[in-house]
Amino acid sequence: MKNPNSPRPIGKCKGCCLNFKTFCKAGLAPKAEWNRGRCKSYNDRDLLEEILSRPVPTGARAARLRRQAKAVIAASEPHHNGVLGPGKMAGRTKRRAR
């Protein structure tokens, strides 16, 4: 059974500016909000501007977030630069010409 208090957006949140794919930026439980009728923060531009104007983390936390973002990007790109992956043997990857 799915949790009705989950911050994950549902189908009715599709056109909302606060829909960040994996969570509701307003911090609400979208399923519970839509069960009561219409979500009270659906496409609330003022709330979005307030959230985006909050200070950005600095120091070690910011560095960790940058490293995590860089790792996600690096993991999603194909590596076709001729460099072997870790644990690969050079003799096994190329066919020998006879």
Q: So where are the chain's domains?
A: 11-71
- CA–CA distance, 24 with 46 (Å, rounded to integer): 15
- Structure-token pair, residue 76: 């999603």
Residue 22 scores a pLDDT above 70: yes
pLDDT (average), residues 32-37: 85
- Beta-carbon contacts of 33 under 8 Å, excluding residues fewer than 6 positions away, are 39, 40, 41
**pTM for this one?**
0.47
- pLDDT (tens digit, 9 = 90+) per residue, 36-92? 888 888 888 898 888 888 887 889 988 998 898 888 777 766 666 666 666 655 555
pLDDT score of 25: 80
Tell me if 20 sits within 8 A of 47, measured CB to CB.
Answer: no
pLDDT score of 60: 92
